[in-house]
Amino acid sequence: NYYAILMAGGVGSRFWPISTQDFPKQFHDMLGTGDTLIQKTFHRLADLIPKENIFILTNERYNDLVLEQLPEVEQRQVVLEPAMRNTAPCILYASLKIQKENPDAVMIVAPSDHWIEDEKTFSKNVQQAFDYCENNDALMTLGIQPTFPNTGYGYIEFDKSSAEAIKTVNQFREKPDYETAKSFISQGNFLWNAGIFMWSAKSVIKAFQNNQPELFKLFESGIPLYNTEFENEFIKENYPNAENVSVDYAIMEKSANVHVIAAEFDWNDLGTWGSLYDKLDKDESGNAVVNARTLAEDASGNMIRTKKDKIVVIDGLQDYIVVDKEEVLLIFPKSKEQDIKMTLQQVKDKF
């Protein structure tokens, strides 16, 4: 009864120039290991979940990329969104589809672009969550020990009194402001939301039915067509009418049956070049290098990526991102990595 929804519809604009709208980061070998992020994620999930029960949700323009990179996946497992509507619509849509196939389904919903190295422990935690969700009406989150008041994450306040591995959640707060995030962290019983969820199809559909009745109605009307030759028409016509909202705001903040299991593995959502730098092995001087061969003098803290085997000589450069792609060379301070998204817009406007 195990299923997965792999979300692969994001654009990853802070990883420009490698990640682009036509070829986003989940389809790149960001770590330089030979596998793309979506391939890594798929194989991590396939440890626990039958391959044919893993559904990939993505924009229709990435269909070929998915089938090319995951040859074990059949077209029926790739759900193509005709418009970007964030994570709530895609999760509800896929959950209804899965429930039609198997009313007792228990599933994991996972982004396709995160870094998790310890696959064994990951599987162990997911199995614990599955066992719980099979028998309880629960929306399960994976919690990460926070290290600073990051305002880009969801925060999970767990019940301090509970000694169990799986804790009940008092409050789920998506992307609080800086002061709130700071106060959360100082209280000690808050975890970051890893953006990975586990639940039964029944529970998640009920949560949508209660909290997003319009969205629910929209997609429920298609249930008779799901997994038939008529589904394509239905999704093309109706998906664009879904509200653009993330699952965090749509149901997680609003539900009383949220639970959390503290992740026992190291996790990173690879949101920026800097977070990638943190996770890569460094050369003798402390530079993270993908594909390049470097000669570094008085140079450290740099994130360098080129095409295969290009020789890069650096001298007197600290904490920079250097990314070389055919038509673009990016040299950007790591401390301003968040601005790459804006810079990309300026580049588009200018050239």
Which residues here bind ligand GDD, judged by CB under 6 A? 7-10, 57-58, 81, 84-87, 90, 111-113, 153-154, 174, 192-195, 248, 269
Q: Based on CB atoms, which residue is closest to ligand GDD, 298 or 339?
A: 339
User: Which runs of E-coded beta strand occur in 223-351?
Assistant: 258-262, 267-268, 288-290, 293-300, 303-305, 311-318, 320-325, 328-333
3-state secondary structure of 30: coil
Q: Based on CB atoms, which residue is closest to ligand GDD, 17 or 111?
A: 111
Both tokens of residue 55? Answer: 């559904």
Of all helices (H) and strands (E), which one includes residue 81? strand 78-81
Tokens 């009383």 belong to residue:
256
Q: Based on CB atoms, which residue is closest to ligand GDD, 190 or 277?
A: 190
Q: Based on CB atoms, which residue is closest to ligand GDD, 228 or 244?
A: 244
Q: How far is the CB of 110 from ligand GDD (least distance, A)?
A: 8
Q: Based on CB atoms, which residue is closest to ligand GDD, 257 or 291?
A: 257
Q: How far is the CB of 305 from ligand GDD (least distance, A)?
A: 20
Distances 294 to 63, 181, 289 between C-alpha atoms, Å? 36, 39, 8
Q: How far is the CB of 81 from ligand GDD (least distance, A)?
A: 6
Q: Based on CB atoms, which residue is closest to ligand GDD, 84 or 313?
A: 84
Nearest-5° Cα angle at 334, 281 to 176: 100
Q: What are phi and psi of 312, to 5 degrees?
A: -120, 125
> Within 13 Å of residue 96, how many CA atoms lie on the same side as its CB?
23
Distances 251 to 88, 128, 167, 245, 256 between C-alpha atoms, Å? 8, 22, 18, 10, 10
Q: How far is the CB of 91 from ligand GDD (least distance, A)?
A: 9
Question: What is the rounded (10 degree) CA torsion for 126, 99, 133, 4?
Answer: 10
Q: How far is the CB of 256 from ligand GDD (least distance, A)?
A: 18
Q: How far is the CB of 176 from ligand GDD (least distance, A)?
A: 10
Q: Based on CB atoms, which residue is closest to ligand GDD, 9 or 222?
A: 9
**Contacts with 126 (C-beta within 8 Å, 6 or more apart), sequence order:** 48, 108, 198
Q: How far is the CB of 194 from ligand GDD (least distance, A)?
A: 6
Q: How far is the CB of 27 from ligand GDD (least distance, A)?
A: 11
DSSP classification of residue 311: E
Q: Based on CB atoms, which residue is closest to ligand GDD, 133 or 304?
A: 133
**Contacts with 322 (C-beta within 8 Å, 6 or more apart), sequence order:** 302, 303, 304, 305, 312, 314, 329, 330, 331
